[in-house]
Chain A
Amino acid sequence: MAFEGFPPLIADQLHYLLNHSPDSIKMENVWSGNKLNPKILDRFTLVIPYCLDTIKWDVIYNSEYAMAPPDFIFGPDDEGFMPCSSATAPHDGQTSLLSEWNNQDATLLLVLIQGLRDQYVAYQQKRVGQVDDDRVKFEISTVLTRKGIEMQMISGGDKPEEVKFAVPLLIDMGINKLVVECPWKHEQKIYLQVIYPILRKYESAPSAPRLRLVSSSDLKALFSVEDVKLPPWMNGMCLAEYLPHLEETLERQILEAVSAIASRRGFVEALAHFLGRPLEADPTFCRKASFLGASGPFTFVVHFFFPAQFPKQQPTLMLQSCQHLNQSSVPVKSNLFTKYPWSPRWEVGRMAERLCDFLTDEAVNFKKYCNEALLQY
């Protein structure tokens, strides 16, 4: 990312913040507060992940006084968030950080933002705690012992008020450690998002909360939380009751997903007996592999896309010709093959053998298809 336009001292701090923050903070909208030289940038908006959503904070440096710490404008709904006010926080880390600002230390902006975010967590928790709803009060009292829980008040315009919880699941599991040669920089996390509608006066019984599993984006390569079927929420249930069962299910499924890597690898190795060494293969998660195939003089590439539930679900195939280019000089490709003879109960050698039989037949069709595609032009 370009930091041109920022004075060097500010650019250093910003660079460190964007590269080292554990929550992947992003920057958007940069501005200049300088009248004489509007190319000198000194203010920007940070998009900070919070409670499975984002909050936007404006950070205002002053290019004329680049030595001074920045000022902040928080979101329009967070009027009550006053981290710098003498009334709420007399003397803590934030205040000493601001009053003894060392502009040479590039890490300080990150430290400051993290400190403010921690205070924001406490502020939102206080707001949610003030909600006049017995169920929410009960949930807070029982679930707060869990580490890293974040909550948020949602009250905007005409919509009814809601309280959102983001509960981190399986914190102690360490998903990164389960994967051999793990390529992930950050620890992968799974959260349960719980949204409680606030009970209005005329309603008698609380309705079930809306539940959703959310994971960090890299986790998709191993395991997709969308495939998890959430256990049903019984009437009168509470979160402390619900979570252990959900975590148990999730843990089992993640372990299955990890063992699925090995079965995919075994299958790719078995294919190598029939198709030769793969041209390309995903070594960590084995979700993709490409082989070179030949049918007489016709050569083609077979792409395999493995689902996370392999071998329960069969891989998707695509053929790509090495000899036919279409109008825009792109190799001719087949449609995706998802239906062909397959049984998850076969052993891998049998699977590979049956698949190659299918390929032998399909190669002829594909060659015909390629020739026809060329004739059209």
Chain B
Amino acid sequence: MDDISLERIEISGPTLASLIQRVSSSPADVDGLIFGQIHRIVSTNLSDDSPAESSASSSSSDQIVATVTSFICSGKTVSFYDLLGRVDSRRVDSLRVASPDRLLGWFSSRRKTANRPSMRELAVASSLSSQFHIPIEDSENPRSTNMASCVFFLLTTPSTEQLIHTHEYRAYQFRSSNQRLEPRSLGIVNIGPAFRGHYGSFSPKSGFPSLICELNSSAMNEDRDEGSLSAKKQAMKDQKEMDALADGLQVENLKRLVGAEAANYTGGIEEMYERMLAKVESLASEVEKSSARVLELVQSLLQSKNSSIQVLIIIIGSGDTDLQESIDEASPVFLFFGSRLFPS
């Protein structure tokens, strides 16, 4: 993999605005992932000079430009890497969920600090760009080459009160050759005549909003009063039963219903429902048979023993085991209370 230098990094005005809004509304420092594309732009300099000179002056120059299209904010720090800055690719995948965009890099936001990369941020950028790659899209040369996901955005607020501005941002590219984060100019693409050229390379898209249905991961939920301990236990028990019934299907997997792999996935869900229905039906017939047996047993007991014996049948069953099993277990537990022992 070549260590290719980015010419510049571009971001659309609304994306930058929403990024700044997101980090400035968070209670503390946050980080997140940045998605986008990398293009090779070949710009030809035409000149009016004589042809002899023009061969030199109209040389086409290659520019590698990264374009940020979207981002995901984790809502906290140390979200997809550990305290040493080592990126965990599984945590990256769970954070990016079904985002259709390609991973371009990441961002970090911290208040009241210098706008230089920190020790951990450098380590994260290094680890991320060694694990994730993004193809360079090149219209003239479809044979695509890859480059590392090396873009890093740093958003800070100034530490001195005297300054007028309230937010600072910088874009960096991590270079594996010298293990440094090198600053890159950040171009903000806005709608308008001056930016028509920029929009040529934009591929318009309106993807589904990513459906995050993690159970209790959001920082917002933590404050909510979850009720007493017993209520929590009950909820956990219920969840366990549900999970057993769902045949190993996690709630998180439901989000696969949205997005590219939905078509093959709906088939799987339907199949699971059919299996569950068949199971319920067989269960019902088992219950029917066993209750008939219980009735038979009770009647024969009443006939054979002294009529003054009272029979108490206790069926011990626990909610999470199969009903058939619980009947089998319960059958020997018949308790006899002789009226001879308790003369009335």
Contact = CB atoms under 8 A, between A and B. Distances in A.
Interface stretch (B120-128, B238-246, B278-286): B120-128
Given A68-B78, A73-B116, A98-B83, A86 B27 contact: no
Tier of interface size on chain A: 20 to 34
B76 interface: yes
Interface residues of B, number: 32
B26 A35 contact: yes
A88 B122 CA distance: 12
Interface string A67-97: 0110111101001101111111000000100
B122 A33 contact: no
B110 A60 contact: yes
Sorted from nearest, which 3 A-B pairs have the closest CB atoms?
A31-B112, A64-B28, A33-B111
A89 B233 CA distance: 46
Contacts of A85: 122-123, 126, 179
A98 B86 CA distance: 12
A84 B120 contact: yes
A74 B113 CA distance: 11
A41 to B, nearest CB: 10
A64 B180 CA distance: 29
A98 B83 CA distance: 6
Interface in B93-142: 110-114, 116-123, 126-127
Contact of B85 (A35, A58, A84): A84
Interface of B: 24-29, 76-78, 82-86, 110-114, 116-123, 126-127, 159, 179-180
A43 B256 CA distance: 41
Nearest to B159: A31
A58 B113 contact: yes
A contacts with B: majority SS: loop
Contacts of A95: 84
Given A84-B84, A84-B123, A98-B84, A60 B118 contact: yes
A263 interface: no
A29 to B, nearest CB: 7
Contacts, number: 96
A322 to B, nearest CB: 52
Given A35-B26, A98-B83, A72 B119 contact: yes
B127 A86 contact: yes
Contacts of A284: none
Contact of A32 (B85, B111, B123): B111
A34 interface: yes
Contacts of B118: 58, 60, 71-73
Given A33-B110, A101-B83, 15 more contacts: A29-B159, A32-B112, A34-B27, A58-B118, A64-B29, A65-B77, A69-B83, A73-B119, A76-B114, A82-B123, A84-B119, A86-B123, A86-B127, A88-B179, A95-B84
Interface string A31-64: 1111110000001000000000000001010111
A254 to B, nearest CB: 41
A58 B120 CA distance: 13
Contacts of A72: 118-120
B112 A43 contact: yes
A335 interface: no
Interface string A194-208: 000000000000000
A71 B119 contact: yes
Nearest to B115: A73
A217 interface: no
A328 interface: no
A86 B85 CA distance: 9
Contact of A58 (B24, B29, B114, B127): B114
Contact of A82 (B24, B76, B82, B119): B119
Contacts of B159: 29, 31
Contacts of B112: 31-33, 43
A77 to B, nearest CB: 11
Contacts of B180: 79-80
A99 interface: yes
Contact of A73 (B26, B85, B113): B113
Contacts of B86: 86
Given A79-B180, A84-B122, A62 B77 contact: yes
Residue from B76, B111, B112 whose CB has the most chain A CB atoms within 10 Å: B112
Contact of B119 (A68, A74, A99): A74
B27 A36 contact: yes
A278 B85 CA distance: 65
Contacts of A86: 86, 123, 126-127
A72 to B, nearest CB: 5
Given A72-B118, A74-B119, A99-B83, A62 B28 contact: yes
Nearest to A56: B114
Contacts of A74: 116, 119
B126 A87 contact: yes
A143 to B, nearest CB: 29
Contacts of A84: 84-85, 119-120, 122-123
Nearest to A87: B179
Contacts of B126: 85-87
Contacts of A36: 27
A183 B77 CA distance: 47
Residue from A34, A64, A71, A86 whose CB has the most chain B CB atoms within 10 Å: A71
A86 B120 CA distance: 11
B77 A82 contact: no
B27 A64 contact: yes
A31 B160 CA distance: 10
